Amino acid sequence: MNILDIGTDIIEVERIKNALSKRGDFLKKIFTQREIEMFEEKGNNPQTIAGNFAAKEAISKSLGLGIRGYNFKDIEVLRNSLGKPIVKTYNNLEQICIQYSVLEIKVSISHSENYAVANAITITM
Protein backbone atom coordinates (compact mmCIF):
# COMPACT_ATOMS: atom_id res chain seq x y z
CA MET A 1 0.00 0.00 0.00
CA ASN A 2 1.11 3.54 -0.77
CA ILE A 3 -0.14 7.00 -0.01
CA LEU A 4 -1.13 8.87 -3.15
CA ASP A 5 -1.52 12.18 -1.34
CA ILE A 6 -3.12 13.93 1.61
CA GLY A 7 -5.56 16.82 1.73
CA THR A 8 -6.84 19.28 4.31
CA ASP A 9 -9.65 21.80 4.20
CA ILE A 10 -11.16 24.24 6.66
CA ILE A 11 -14.36 26.21 6.22
CA GLU A 12 -16.23 28.82 8.22
CA VAL A 13 -19.56 27.42 9.36
CA GLU A 14 -21.08 30.85 8.67
CA ARG A 15 -20.39 30.38 4.93
CA ILE A 16 -22.45 27.20 4.96
CA LYS A 17 -25.25 28.92 6.92
CA ASN A 18 -25.29 31.68 4.30
CA ALA A 19 -25.33 29.19 1.41
CA LEU A 20 -28.22 27.34 3.02
CA SER A 21 -30.27 30.49 3.49
CA LYS A 22 -29.50 32.10 0.11
CA ARG A 23 -29.50 29.12 -2.21
CA GLY A 24 -32.37 26.71 -1.88
CA ASP A 25 -30.59 24.21 -4.10
CA PHE A 26 -27.24 24.25 -2.25
CA LEU A 27 -27.65 20.86 -0.58
CA LYS A 28 -28.90 19.18 -3.77
CA LYS A 29 -26.03 20.61 -5.85
CA ILE A 30 -23.25 19.50 -3.48
CA PHE A 31 -24.48 16.45 -1.56
CA THR A 32 -25.96 13.05 -2.40
CA GLN A 33 -29.47 12.11 -1.33
CA ARG A 34 -28.06 9.82 1.37
CA GLU A 35 -25.94 12.67 2.76
CA ILE A 36 -28.97 14.97 2.80
CA GLU A 37 -30.94 12.30 4.67
CA MET A 38 -28.08 12.02 7.19
CA PHE A 39 -28.13 15.81 7.68
CA GLU A 40 -31.89 15.71 8.26
CA GLU A 41 -31.43 12.95 10.88
CA LYS A 42 -28.94 15.26 12.63
CA GLY A 43 -31.32 18.25 12.55
CA ASN A 44 -29.59 19.94 9.56
CA ASN A 45 -26.81 21.06 11.87
CA PRO A 46 -24.64 23.59 9.94
CA GLN A 47 -21.48 22.24 11.61
CA THR A 48 -22.21 18.74 10.27
CA ILE A 49 -22.91 20.07 6.78
CA ALA A 50 -19.75 22.21 6.90
CA GLY A 51 -17.76 19.17 8.01
CA ASN A 52 -18.97 17.16 5.04
CA PHE A 53 -18.21 20.05 2.69
CA ALA A 54 -14.68 20.32 4.09
CA ALA A 55 -14.30 16.54 3.75
CA LYS A 56 -15.19 16.67 0.05
CA GLU A 57 -12.64 19.44 -0.50
CA ALA A 58 -9.97 17.55 1.46
CA ILE A 59 -10.69 14.38 -0.53
CA SER A 60 -10.31 16.25 -3.81
CA LYS A 61 -6.93 17.52 -2.62
CA SER A 62 -5.85 14.04 -1.50
CA LEU A 63 -6.40 12.85 -5.06
CA GLY A 64 -4.27 15.72 -6.38
CA LEU A 65 -7.02 16.83 -8.76
CA GLY A 66 -9.15 19.44 -7.10
CA ILE A 67 -12.68 19.20 -8.45
CA ARG A 68 -11.73 18.35 -12.04
CA GLY A 69 -13.24 15.59 -14.13
CA TYR A 70 -15.98 14.88 -11.58
CA ASN A 71 -18.38 16.75 -9.32
CA PHE A 72 -19.05 17.01 -5.60
CA LYS A 73 -21.88 14.49 -5.76
CA ASP A 74 -19.41 11.85 -6.97
CA ILE A 75 -18.03 11.94 -3.39
CA GLU A 76 -20.26 10.68 -0.60
CA VAL A 77 -19.29 11.00 3.06
CA LEU A 78 -21.53 9.09 5.46
CA ARG A 79 -20.97 7.79 9.00
CA ASN A 80 -20.73 4.28 10.38
CA SER A 81 -22.57 3.22 13.56
CA LEU A 82 -19.84 4.82 15.71
CA GLY A 83 -19.90 8.12 13.80
CA LYS A 84 -16.70 7.49 11.83
CA PRO A 85 -16.80 9.09 8.35
CA ILE A 86 -16.94 6.60 5.49
CA VAL A 87 -16.09 7.68 1.92
CA LYS A 88 -17.80 6.29 -1.17
CA THR A 89 -17.10 7.30 -4.76
CA TYR A 90 -19.41 7.30 -7.77
CA ASN A 91 -19.50 8.00 -11.50
CA ASN A 92 -16.41 9.76 -12.91
CA LEU A 93 -14.61 9.79 -9.57
CA GLU A 94 -15.10 6.06 -9.20
CA GLN A 95 -13.42 5.60 -12.61
CA ILE A 96 -10.57 7.94 -11.62
CA CYS A 97 -10.04 5.90 -8.45
CA ILE A 98 -9.87 2.71 -10.52
CA GLN A 99 -7.29 4.33 -12.84
CA TYR A 100 -5.21 5.45 -9.83
CA SER A 101 -5.56 2.02 -8.15
CA VAL A 102 -7.14 3.61 -5.07
CA LEU A 103 -7.82 1.10 -2.32
CA GLU A 104 -9.39 3.47 0.18
CA ILE A 105 -9.90 7.13 1.00
CA LYS A 106 -9.84 7.89 4.71
CA VAL A 107 -11.16 11.11 6.15
CA SER A 108 -11.31 12.73 9.56
CA ILE A 109 -13.71 15.60 10.32
CA SER A 110 -13.84 17.97 13.26
CA HIS A 111 -15.66 21.19 13.97
CA SER A 112 -16.15 23.94 16.49
CA GLU A 113 -18.94 26.46 16.60
CA ASN A 114 -17.30 28.58 13.89
CA TYR A 115 -15.13 26.24 11.80
CA ALA A 116 -15.14 22.77 10.32
CA VAL A 117 -11.93 21.04 9.27
CA ALA A 118 -11.27 17.77 7.46
CA ASN A 119 -8.18 15.74 6.61
CA ALA A 120 -8.11 13.06 3.93
CA ILE A 121 -5.60 10.48 2.83
CA THR A 122 -5.81 8.43 -0.36
CA ILE A 123 -4.31 4.96 -0.20
CA THR A 124 -3.31 3.13 -3.38
CA MET A 125 -1.93 -0.31 -4.24
DSSP symbols for 5-50: EEEEEEEEHHHHHHHHHH-TTHHHHHS-HHHHHHHHHTTT-HHHHH
**C-alpha span between 20 and 31 (Å, rounded):** 12
- The answer to whether 92 touches 73, Cβ cutoff 8 Å, is no
3-state secondary structure of 64: coil
- The answer to whether 103 touches 114, Cβ cutoff 8 Å, is no
The answer on whether 9 is annotated among ligand-binding residues is yes
The answer on whether 57 is annotated among ligand-binding residues is yes
With the C-alpha atoms ordered 5, 98, 84, 68, is the resulting torsion angle positive or negative?
positive
Residues of each annotated binding site: 9, 57
Residues of each annotated binding site for Mg(2+): 9, 57
